[in-house]
Amino acid sequence: MEADHPHEPAGADTDQAPETDVPTLGDILLAAEELWPESLAEDWDAPGLVAGRADREVRRILFAVDPTREVIDEALEWGADLLVTHHPLLLKPVNSVAATTFKGDTVHRLIEGGCALLTVHTNGDSAVGGVSDVLADAFGLRDVTPLVPAGDGLPEEGIGRVGDLPEMLSLADFAERVFALMPAVAGGVRVAGDAQGLIRRVAVCGGAGDSLFDAVRAQRADVYVTADLRHHPASELRERAVTGNGRPYLIDVSHFGSEWLWLTPAANALENVLTDQGFAADVRVSGVNTDPWDFVLTP
């Protein structure tokens, strides 16, 4: 038998990559806690393991924003051992997981298909490299700090981010930048403010962020990018902005879109931690658009 390399004896392993092990779900949970500590979650939140045994091996991991039927289909058809979603399946307490309900059926399908479910929600928002950090990086912000610092965390951790653009931009030009980065969804991007008004200081919050308006004003942001802006809070903020040189302007994006940007960096981060620990798993981002809207009518 010939050697693999002409100048090395058969069986030489000088060029072989170091051996890697298949992680268990318990190993994944430890890596996830390193990246997105559950202590950073808001009091009302319910992140963490929803279904799965810690001693089971995990060879395939799928990341998605929502644990919808179509996402579950994708995970099971691919043979995923673990589905990691941003949004919790069981945010509120339940008395039953009977398969007669959507959520109960989801739990049954996951267990029967051998796929665990882990949710990384507001702890994934607040952590370094989380949802809002990804938005801030995508928009090119500098000198970024948390919009609302974490009560028990690092100085860089907390909900939302605020930072500065390298140069002044018109609101219209910045809105175009935001629009170009978002996935295509029916609702598009809504903007409130003077299209030609100049902005530099930008606040961002992935997901629903109209509870943070006081922090946005306190940070003197020129514009606030978030999702799910409700009529009354947005209207009141804009009325108050009349006496503040029209600022802050508002950019309302898709809730799904604002958090979808996080999936790839999150998947890469988990894969890197596992690699550093000597583990190997196939990590993939879902191709399913889970934005709930199908079309929109405009004037």
pLDDT in tens, 143-178: 999 999 998 889 999 999 999 999 999 999 999 999
249: helix, strand or coil: strand
pLDDT band, residue 140 (cuts 50/70/90): very high
CA-to-CA distance for 118 and 254, rounded, in angstroms? 23
Do residues 133 and 163 make contact, with C-beta atoms less than 8 angstroms apart?
no
Give tens-digit pLDDT for 45-87.
999 999 999 999 999 999 999 999 999 999 999 999 999 999 9
pLDDT tens track for 3-54? 444 444 444 455 555 567 999 999 999 999 999 999 999 999 999 999 999 9
Q: Which domains does the chain have, with CATH numbers?
A: 25-123+260-284 (3.40.1390.30), 128-253 (3.40.1390.30)
Residue type, 41: A
pLDDT per residue over 192-234, tens digit each? 999 999 999 999 999 999 999 999 999 999 999 999 999 999 9
The reported pLDDT for the residue numbered 116 is 98
Give yes or no for a contact between 74 and 62, defined as CB atoms under 8 angstroms apart: yes
74 C-beta neighbours (distance < 10 Å), count = 18
Instruction: Report which DSSP code applies to 18.
Output: P
Percent of the chain with pLDDT over 70: 93
Q: What angle do CA 8, 20, 273 make, to 5 degrees?
A: 130
pLDDT at 15: 57
Q: What is the pLDDT of residue 152?
A: 83
- What b/e string do you get for 136-155 counting C-beta neighbours within 10 Å, with b at 16 or more? bebbebeebebbbbbeebee
**Helix boundaries (H) for the chain:** 25-35, 69-78, 102-112, 122-126, 131-138, 171-181, 213-218, 231-241, 255-276
> What is the secondary structure of 158-178 as a DSSP string?
EEEEEEEEEEEEEHHHHHHHH
Q: What is the mean pLDDT of the chain?
A: 93
Residue 267 is predicted with a pLDDT of 98
Q: Is the distance from CB of 160 to CB of 208 less than 8 angstroms?
A: no
Distance CA 298, CA 286 (A): 30
d(CA 247, CA 237): 9
The alpha carbon of residue 185 and the mean position of all alpha carbons in its chain are separated, in whole angstroms, by 17
The CA-based dihedral angle spanning residues 168, 172, 173, 175, taken in that order and rounded to the nearest 10 degrees: 100
pTM: 0.90
pLDDT score, position 18? 58
